[in-house]
Chains A and B, each alone.
Chain A
Amino acid sequence: MKFRKDKDILRFSCIAALLILAGTLMVSFLSGPTYFGIGSVLIIMGVIAIIVAIIAATTPKEDMIQDERSVRVNEKAGYHAFWILLVTMALVQSIAMFGRLDLSYKSVSPDIFIVGMLSFVILRWYYNRRGDVR
């Protein structure tokens, strides 16, 4: 596996490392649930950023450029993911209003967020493979 070491990758990795460091310092030295929460979020964001940096570093630079096809794929996936998100929210709202389940936005909002993110990732993969001929 070949790692690219260009400026963008190094800059992104530094930001990721700083996030983890800031999160660790916050969790270790500041007391209180708020600091613990913020620190944990910073650590999680840093770890995600490290994973993204590793994926980006192992991908050839030519595959990272945004050309018209990748922009079109992103737009299409984003548009459909948005509608999936909207329908999911409408369903949750309907279940909360008419169903017997006790659902509130606050309790299901992380799940809705995951539905939106996953829809986008899956649709992008699908449209990237399928091609685009009308």
Chain B
Amino acid sequence: MNTRIKELRARYNLTQEELAKKVGVRRETIVFLEKGKYNPSLKLAHDVAKVLETTIEELFIFDDD
């Protein structure tokens, strides 16, 4: 799984800490999300997408294989 969180976060000038605070998770969770090492719940995916003003489909890219 790949994500565009880092790219969009940079666009909005948000640090990992700030994004974490806005969605109510630990900074560690954002780190794992950006690395594609954590499958978020639908709610967290929705919250992150909302803060970054995008959609879940645009934020998370799943490999088909």
Contact = CB atoms under 8 A, between A and B. Distances in A.
Q: Does A associate with B in a complex?
A: yes
A92 B41 CA distance: 40
B21 interface: yes
B26 A63 contact: yes
Contacts of B38: 69, 131-133
Contacts of A132: 32, 37-39
Given A62-B21, A67-B24, A68-B44, A133 B29 contact: no
B41 A68 contact: yes
Given A68-B44, A69-B32, A131-B32, A62 B26 contact: yes
Interface string A110-134: 0000000000000000001011111
B20 interface: yes
Interface size class on chain A is 10 to 19
A62 B41 CA distance: 20
A65 interface: yes
Nearest to B41: A68
Nearest to B24: A67
Interface size class on chain B is 20 to 34
Contacts of B50: none
A74 interface: no
A65 B28 CA distance: 11
A70 to B, nearest CB: 7
A118 to B, nearest CB: 23
Interface of A: 62-63, 65, 67-70, 128, 130-134
8 contacts: A62-B17, A62-B26, A67-B25, A69-B29, A70-B26, A70-B29, A132-B38, A133-B39
